[in-house]
Amino acid sequence: MSYRFDRVLLGRLAELLSVQPVKAAEPVRGFPRPALRVVEPAREVDLITAEEAAAAFLVALGIDLDTESLAATPARMARAYAEMFAPRPFDLTTFPNDARYDELIIARSIPLHSVCEHHLLPFVGVAHVGYLPGERILGLSKLARVVELFARRPQVQERLTQQVADWLQDQLEPRGVGVVVEAEHLCMTVRGVRAPGGSTVTSALHGQLRHNAASRAEFFTLIAAHQQPDVDQGRLTQPNPYEDNPLSQDKAYS
Ligand code: ZN
């Protein structure tokens, strides 16, 4: 994975240049630490050009847009994709681990919606995200926000899984991180091999969850102990994570 590769290269480069990574000063205990505001770099979204391109795309495929029902479809397509590629900003609030809690913290079955970057078709499923806390703990809802941060962009499932794990490791510095993603890819369901119901499972582990067999086994046992909702069921019963997105203007079609 080129992302991992770049990190390795950067590490080597730092060694060669004898650059020591600068460690932020430890905040004084009890001193409020400001929440990290996580926002994606602003991207230019040109909905008009996207709509024109969507219209040209559909016409090129022989679809007649001169019907009442299809007339606004290019505009809806443009908004839908803009929405799917726009994660919501959030504050990464962390708290001191005053209770010295040292067992696994796991958020299971976080609903996941992303878009396969090879076909631009959705993949839908769940993510299980866990960590072994160190000095700080995290608001539980933030684990879902981190998943969303990396899901709302053209993706491949392997990279998405790794990015969530790497990001948590870097930001929270826990003793271990584990991420498992199970998803059904529409590009495999509705075209190509046409294998509905097939799901793809990926995992990424860091720290103690990677290197300590007992911790790793506990992590996977706790995930498996949960009755997994079927991906289709999950889609119907989970709340729509895109609900309060300002770009979501046509909820009737979502
Ligand atoms: Zn695909």
Sorted by where each begins, the domain ranges of the chain are: 47-82, 93-243
pLDDT band at 10 (very low <50, low <70, confident <90, very high): very low
Cα of 117 from ligand 1 centre, angstroms: 6
Cα of 109 from ligand 1 centre, angstroms: 22
Least confident of 96-105, 165-174, 225-234: 225-234
Q: Over pLDDT 70: what percentage of the chain?
A: 74
Determine whether 48 is exposed, middle or buried from the number of CB atoms within 10 Å of its CB (0-12, 13-18, 19+).
Answer: exposed
Cα of 207 from ligand 1 centre, angstroms: 31
Q: What are the two backbone dihedrals, phi and then psi, of residue 234, each rounded to the nearest 5 degrees?
A: -55, -40
| Residue 29, pLDDT score | 53
| Residue 223, pLDDT score | 92
Mean pLDDT (whole number) for 221-248:
51
pLDDT band at 19 (very low <50, low <70, confident <90, very high): very low
pLDDT score of 94 more than 60: yes
Cα of 203 from ligand 1 centre, angstroms: 19
pLDDT score of 142 more than 70: yes
| Residue 54, pLDDT score | 98
pLDDT score of 18 more than 50: no
| Residue 35, pLDDT score | 75
- Write down the mean pLDDT value for the chain: 81
Contact 125, 231 (CB under 8 A): yes
Q: Which residues are catalytic?
A: 116-119, 157, 185, 187
| Residue 33, pLDDT score | 66
- Name the class of domain 93-243: alpha beta
Cα of 157 from ligand 1 centre, angstroms: 10
pLDDT score of 24 more than 60: no
| Residue 91, pLDDT score | 87
The size of the chain, in residues, is 254
H or E element at residue 213: helix 213-224
Between 9 and 108, the higher pLDDT residue: 108
| Residue 117, pLDDT score | 97
Contact 10, 62 (CB under 8 A): no
* Nearest CA-CA partner of 86 in 150, 167, 146, 3: 150
Encoded amino acid at 91, one letter:
D
Cα of 182 from ligand 1 centre, angstroms: 15
Mean pLDDT (whole number) for 230-253:
39
